[in-house]
Amino acid sequence: MPALPSSVPSPRGQSSGDPVVTEPPVLRRVAVVTLGCARNEVDSEELAGRLAGDGYELVEDAEGADAVLVNTCGFIESAKKDSVDAILAATDSGAEVIAVGCMAERYGAELAGALPEATVLGFDDYAAIGDRLDDVLTGRPLVPHSPRDRRTLLPISPAQRTAAVTAGDAPAIPGHDWLKRKRLASGPTAALKLASGCDRRCAFCAIPTFRGAFVSRPQAEVLGEARWLAAQGVTELVLVSENSTSYGKDTGDLRSLEKLLPELTAVPGIARIRVAYLQPAEMRPGLLQVIAATPGIAPYFDLSFQHSSPTLLRRMRRFGGTDDFLGIIEHARSLAPGAGFRTNVILGFPGETEADVIELERFLTEGRLDAVGVFGYSDEEGTEAMRLTGKLDSDEIDARVRRVTDLVEELTAQRAEERIGDVVEVLLTDDLSATEGPGTWGGHAAHQDPDADGTTTVSGVPADSVAGQLVAAEVVATDGVDLVARVLVPALNPAGR
């Protein structure tokens, strides 16, 4: 067995003849590194909560830590490379490195064989993550898990639920033993997970194979965690899942999200609710109405269009097309003219023609979206698309990505300019007074996701303002997709109402 790090207690199971240790154990130090999406960020905070509960000290810097937990992303090829790079960088710290997350779950023993410097754990290890780190730090051998197709299995939920909360028979309040989460960020925005897994079968996506079937969290549990986050100083919640429009589908109530959203706006201290990861094919009129017209909910539509050519979308095992998508946007804007829209699109899917790209460009031009992520197709193991004919060479895919990216940059900048003169509600996040002048703050308007969609710089903010407050401001200029605004009225109360 290798020598133990100085900050790690001796292994359990001392013999009766061993001397009694009277000094208190030194806390074990662990750093958490997160890659990928907001769902992974929530997973990292749940893992951090469990580790803290098991006596681990959470530290920010890998240097000086006894262990580094790398929460990997395995969605596309570039994300896998970033995950491998993060694992290798963590090994330079001299700490024990543990890989978890989607890439670790998806590749298991294969990843462990390629990176012997790290211990690879799967989702099934999350519930006992403290014990698994104990194993690593004390030299107990672990056998890497073999990846499984989880589509027929329930996904692992890091939250330990009490039977009463799961059944909805008791109020979900901070202190219930299901709430295992420790914030790793200090800002006024936070992601809140609605569900795990996905039931859709998009031809390009492997997520269902390693995340499992779609399972909604009970409403009482979501509300309880929202109250806990509000107590931590969070004023804007971003609801995340693999497919938020499916919330409640597995429990037989397709209107669950419409019912939940008004309940969340009533949580004391929460100024704004934002829903991410909406599936266009499941965008019900009632849900669109609630998001666009309910006070306290950002009129913001993060819609996963992926493309707009009907022919190519069918090949992707998806639905809709340019005219359907423009109809959704038009309906939302009829209810909330300033509504925000973001999406991701894939270029170079097998069989994509020049006509398909032109159709996508028509949609982007007419849709006037606020933010668009442009990605090139890459083969993913275990997907239908990997077996399709009509593959494009990488140079052609790269050319199409550059072409559409250039168009998107022009269109989104134009859309931002269209907002000049509008009054927007900005959630303050960063006091810029020291560098930009008194009363200047950074933040984001309702149409801007806190992490992905540009920012708004606001001048004239009252001196007694704090992060997490909402201010009403007039847009006076733009810089690309970023807005420059001037406060019109004093800051709203922290609840935004």
Can you give the residue ranges of every domain in the chain?
28-144, 152-418, 423-487
The DSSP code sequence of 85-119 is HHHHHHHTTTSEEEEEEHHHHHHHHHHHHH-TTEE
The predicted model gives 280-302 an average pLDDT of: 97
Instruction: Label residue 23 by pLDDT band (50, 70, 90).
Output: very low
Please, is 88 exposed, middle or buried when counting C-beta atoms within 10 Å of its C-beta (0-12, 13-18, 19+)? middle
CA angle 118/123/124 to nearest 5° reads 105
> Above 50 in pLDDT, residue 164?
no
Q: Which of 47-51, 206-210, 416-420, 478-482 has the lowest average pLDDT?
A: 206-210
Instruction: For 354-388, write each residue's pLDDT tens digit.
Output: 999 999 999 999 999 999 999 999 999 889 999 99
Distance CA 134, CA 166 (A): 30
**Ramachandran sector of residue 393 (left: φ over 0; alpha: ψ -120 to 50; beta: rest):** beta
Residue 106 CA, distance from chain mean position? 18
Mean pLDDT of all residues in the chain? 87
What fold, for 28-144? Answer: Rossmann fold (3.40.50)
Q: Which of 312, 316, 313 is nearest to 353 (CA)?
A: 312
Q: Which amino acid is at 280?
A: P
Q: Which of 373, 360, 482, 371 is nearest to 432 (CA)?
A: 482
| Residue spans of alpha helices (H) in 13-64 | 38-53
Percent of the chain with pLDDT over 90: 70
Distance CA 103, CA 178 (A): 26
Greater confidence, 11 or 154? 154
Q: What was the pLDDT predicted at 11?
A: 35
What is the enclosing helix (H) or strand (E) of 81? helix 77-91
The predicted model gives 156-181 an average pLDDT of: 47
Q: Which of 470, 373, 370 is nearest to 424 (CA)?
A: 470
Q: Under CATH, which number does the domain 423-487 receive?
A: 2.40.50.140
Sheet bearing 300-302, strands edge to edge: 300-302, 340-347, 371-376
> Above 50 in pLDDT, residue 470?
yes
What fold, for 152-418? Answer: pyruvate-formate lyase- activating enzyme (3.80.30)
Q: Which of 251, 239, 42 is nearest to 126 (CA)?
A: 42
| 19: number of Cβ within 10 Å | 6
The DSSP code sequence of 402-469 is HHHHHHHHHHHHHHHHHTTT-EEEEEEEEE-HHHH-TT-EEEEETTS-TTTS--EEEES--TT--TT-
Kindly report the backbone phi and psi dihedral angles of residue 46, in degrees, each rounded to the nearest multiple of 5, phi listed first: -70, -40
Instruction: Label residue 242 by pLDDT band (50, 70, 90).
Output: very high
Q: What was the pLDDT predicted at 177?
A: 55
Distance CA 410, CA 413 (A): 5
Instruction: Label residue 45 by pLDDT band (50, 70, 90).
Output: very high
Residue 92 CA, distance from chain mean position? 28
| 434: number of Cβ within 10 Å | 8
Distance CA 27, CA 48 (A): 14
Q: What was the pLDDT predicted at 173?
A: 40
Greater confidence, 334 or 94? 334
Q: Which of 45-59, 147-161, 369-383 has the lowest average pLDDT?
A: 147-161
Q: What was the pLDDT predicted at 152?
A: 62
Q: Which residues pair with 372 in a beta bridge?
A: 343
Distance CA 42, CA 182 (A): 9
Instruction: For 181-239, write each residue's pLDDT tens digit.
Output: 999 988 999 999 999 989 899 999 998 888 888 999 999 999 999 999 999 999 999 99
Instruction: For 429-468, write each residue's pLDDT tens digit.
Output: 999 999 999 999 999 999 999 988 899 999 999 999 999 9
Distance CA 337, CA 339 (A): 6
Structure tokens at 274: 């934002």
